[in-house]
Amino acid sequence: MPRNSPPAQPPASCAVPAEPVRFDGGRGPAVSAEVAVEAPVSIVYGNLPYAVMMATPSDLEDFVAGFSLTEGIVTGIDEIRGIAIQPQPDGIVVTVDLAPGRFREHLARRRNLSGRTSCGLCGVETLSELPMARAGAREGQPISRNAIHAALASLERHQPLNRLTHAVHAAVWCDATGAILAAREDVGRHNALDKLIGARLRAGHEAGSGFVLVTSRASFEMVEKAAIFGASTLVSISAPTSFAIERAKRLGLNLVCVARDDGCIVFAGALAPELETQAR
């Protein structure tokens, strides 16, 4: 897709006054606290508004590219001809220019909900309407315990906004050795993953060998997004839900959760065979 000139976007964090209070009755001096910015982002395809998402206003082109893929609006980055970002007094409007054929399909598509995989199941009327990525074996080799441990060891260095605000999630793409190749942050865990997917797509990278690591729980939406991107393994630092485990098994996605310094738990699929038993 064409690369638009970087627009002027609001900052990802801002300083606000705050008053510390101690539980023993004392009070500390007033401080200036750095907080994460959360802004309404209106996503428009052509001239048709699609959804308003609450997001951190950084890497918005990546966010909308990834969102468009995981929402099923596009099937590949080549179907997006351009992205225009327009800050407004009350939020940000992001307009996506779709390829003509894809835009016609979008017009014909029934609009059921504000975010198919990005806001849970709001708007779904029957169980048959639940989103479902294509099942089948994911590309890429099983990931080793050592790769996950290496990624966790360097994760904090790739979270500058969280170090500043302690309020945002991260999603990172790691190669088969655990080296972090791309990272994105956002107040929303879904948004962070969409940003990461969009960044990889816009840079011309497919999933291939490697894995996704997220700093949130593993819900079914996170499993769906990782599977749509084509990742073979999703690692989360928090626990999964039962639906996430079920979906991962059906999609052939390796799901590794509660990933900490001292180990992890494999809930679906497997790690590299020679290390699988040790990592459980």
Distances (CA, A) of 245 to 6, 119, 212, 220, 241: 39, 19, 16, 8, 6
Are 171 and 151 in contact, with CB atoms under 8 Å apart? Answer: no
Q: Give the contacts of 2 (CB within 8 A, at least 6 positions apart).
A: 81, 82
Using CB atoms within 10 Å of the CB of residue 137, give its burial: 0 to 12 exposed, 13 to 18 middle, 19+ buried: exposed
Our answer to whether residue 264 is catalytic in this structure is no
Are 258 and 152 in contact, with CB atoms under 8 Å apart? Answer: no
Catalytic entry in 14, 119, 122, 257:
119
Are 201 and 66 in contact, with CB atoms under 8 Å apart? Answer: yes
DSSP letter (8 states) at residue 280: -
Are 53 and 189 in contact, with CB atoms under 8 Å apart? Answer: no
Helix (H, G, I), strand (E, B) or coil at 97: strand
The neighbour count for residue 224, using CB atoms within 10 Å, is: 24
Are 173 and 225 in contact, with CB atoms under 8 Å apart? Answer: no
For 13-30, b where at least 16 C-beta lie within 10 A, e where not — what string? beeeeeeeeeeeeeeeee
Which positions are annotated as active-site residues? 119
